[in-house]
Structures are given as C-alpha cells and as structure tokens.
C-alpha cells in the first residue's frame, strides 16, 4: 500500500514539472495546475508516511502558489509543510514555517487564520521552548486585539502569563497579568479581574515586592464589587500576614479554596509563598506540661518555640 502511494506521489510530481515547463507554444508556466499536482503528491506521500517527501511537495506547492500570487493557498501549503516537520519531530523548523504562513495570511487580509496558525505553533513548541511559545501567544493576542476580538486576545495572554509564571519570569509575568486585567476591565468581566488581582499579588510577593502587591489591591478598590468581596478580604489578610511575618496566617489564606482552585501555576505560587525571615509561628496556649520537675521554661526556649513555625 505504501509503495503504491509513493508511486502515486511521484506521478503527481512528474505532472507538476510538466506544467512548469515552457516552450515555443507555451511561454508561461501553468503555476495553478502545478500547485494542484504538488498538493496531490504531498497527500500521497503523507499517506505513505513519507513525511520528508510530503514536506518537500508542500514547499513546492507553496512556491507555485506564490508565483501565481495566490497568497492564501501558499500560506496553507507552508502550514502543511510545517505539520510534516512536526510529524518528523522537527518542532523548531515546523514553527518557523507556520510563522511564515501566518505572516502571509496577514498580508492576504485573513488575520483570524493568521492568529489560529500562530496559536497552533505555540501549542507545538510549548513543552520544548516555552520562551518561544510565550512570544507566539503574545503575537496571537496582538492580532486578535487589533481585530477588536478582546476575549480571544485575553485568553492567549493568559496562556503567556501562565508560562511566564511557570518559568519564574516574574517581572514579565506581572506585566502580562496587568494587561490581562486591563482587558477584563474593558469587557466588564469584573469577577475575573478579582482573580487576576490575586495572581498579581502572588507574583509580586514572589518578586519580594510588597509595595507593588499592596498597590495592586489598593488600585483594585475602583473595580466594581471588589471592595467587600471574598477575594478582597483574603488578599487583605494575606498582605497583613506577610507584612507581620506571620507564616501561619499566610499559609492559611494560601490553602483556602479561593487560592487552591485557581489555575495550577498560581495555586503553586500560593502554596510555596514564604514570608520574609522565614516566618513566625503563632504561640500555642500554655499547657500543663510547660513546667516539668519544677523547672520553668527559659526565655531561650520560648524564643526557639516562637521561631519554629513551619513553611508553606
């Protein structure tokens, strides 16, 4: 079966080459017919799992479409060539071709298709090169934002933010989450703004920037419904515990359902949050065992107990 498909592909390649030849009676290559044959060859090679040959056929198809000024079809062919590279586990090269396709979609005036191609490229490379994936998701968000499709834009920004947090690139993550929050305010999705404020505060505290975290909460008071919400109350308790170096209070807030059921990357930030200085354990009530054999607990013992609090 595979051999049959390979022969079929080779026949289509031969036909394509004939369409490109010129002579006395044919002055101009027939790019349209050649592109069609290259496309058929690519499908045949793909079905035979000959991905290298399929990729080459797609690239030839793309060039034929470009020569015919059919940008959309050329972009499709480049994207298909990228998918063949994906099958060959050549992900960086695959992403390069899909990016090229997306630029051609934009040039052709089809930004939606460009954005979908960029998002697809981001998903392909996310586990191999998260930094590149962040760039692709941000590019996709920009395309959607330019088209005033803010819900799609903010969804892609969210993906970029989470990857930045996962990579502990907190300065960039703080800026990305702020941009998300601005868009959610613009589309009047206020409850999600509250969640983004929690994410911001956790990121700023991991940056050891208490002032920025406090400012995020203070500025959020202007968001309708935030003041008095459970999100606001929890954040005030979190900042109070952090400021007073009370690890128990911080851990209690970060282990609450409100924090634990956030996106996994932010929930992890909460669970790993440690107050400056390692934290103070709240004193436990005195027990009958406080004195043994007439020996009173020393001040040093009390001090040891005071600073023996566990971390997140």
Question: Which pLDDT tens digit goes with each residue over 128-164?
Answer: 999 999 999 999 999 999 999 999 999 999 999 999 9
Could you tell me which of 205, 203, 114 has the C-alpha nearest to residue 161?
A: 203
Measure the CA–CA gap between 243 and 36, rounded to whole angstroms: 68
- Cβ neighbors of 264 (< 8 A, separation 6 or more) are none
Q: pTM for this one?
A: 0.83
- Residue ranges per structural domain of the chain: 157-276
For residue 307, pLDDT beyond 60:
no
**SS3 call for 149:** coil
pLDDT exceeds 90 at position 303: no
Per-residue burial over 246-260, b if 16 or more Cβ lie within 10 Å, else e, is bbebbbebbeeebbe
Closest CA to 268 of 189, 172, 162, 118: 162
Query: What is the C-alpha to C-alpha distance for residues 271 and 312, in angstroms, rounded to an integer?
Result: 6
Q: Which two tokens stand for residue 123?
A: 């998903």
Q: Under a CB-based contact definition with an 8 Å cutoff, are residues 122 and 133 in contact?
A: yes
| Radius of gyration from C-alpha coordinates of the chain | 29
Does the domain formed by 157-276 have CATH 1.25.40.10?
Answer: yes
pLDDT digits (tens, 9 = 90+) for 176-199: 999 999 999 999 999 999 999 999
State the pLDDT at residue 278. 61
295: helix, strand or coil:
strand
Average of per-residue pLDDT values in the chain: 89
């Amino acid at each position: 079966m595979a051999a049959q498909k390979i022969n079929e592909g080779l026949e289509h390649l031969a036909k394509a080459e004939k369409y490109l030849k010129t002579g006395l009676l044919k002055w101009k290559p027939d790019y349209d017919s050649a592109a069609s044959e290259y496309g058929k060859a690519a499908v045949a090679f793909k079905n035979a799992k000959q991905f290298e040959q399929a990729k080459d056929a797609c690239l030839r198809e793309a060039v034929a479409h470009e020569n015919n000024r059919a940008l959309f079809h050329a972009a499709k062919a480049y994207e298909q060539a990228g998918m063949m590279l994906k099958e060959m586990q050549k992900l960086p090269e695959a992403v390069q071709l899909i990016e090229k396709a997306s630029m051609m979609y934009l040039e052709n005036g089809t930004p939606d298709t460009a954005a979908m191609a960029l998002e697809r490229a981001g998903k392909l490379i996310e586990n191999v090169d998260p930094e590149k994936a962040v760039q692709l998701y941000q590019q996709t968000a920009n395309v959607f934002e330019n088209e005033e499709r803010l819900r799609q834009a903010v969804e892609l920004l969210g993906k970029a933010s989470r990857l930045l947090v996962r990579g502990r690139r907190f300065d960039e993550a703080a800026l990305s989450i702020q941009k998300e929050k601005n868009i959610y305010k613009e589309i009047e999705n206020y409850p999600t703004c509250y969640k983004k404020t929690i994410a911001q505060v956790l990121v700023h505290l991991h940056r050891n920037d208490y002032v920025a975290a406090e400012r995020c909460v203070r500025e959020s008071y202007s968001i309708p419904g935030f003041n008095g919400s459970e999100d606001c109350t929890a954040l005030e308790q979190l900042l109070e515990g952090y400021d007073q170096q009370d690890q128990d209070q911080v851990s209690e807030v970060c282990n609450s359902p409100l924090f634990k059921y956030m996106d996994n990357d932010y929930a992890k930030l909460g669970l790993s949050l440690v107050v400056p200085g390692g934290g103070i354990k709240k004193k436990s009530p005195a027990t009958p065992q406080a004195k043994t054999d007439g020996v009173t607990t020393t001040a040093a013992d009390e001090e040891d107990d005071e600073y023996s609090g566990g971390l997140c």
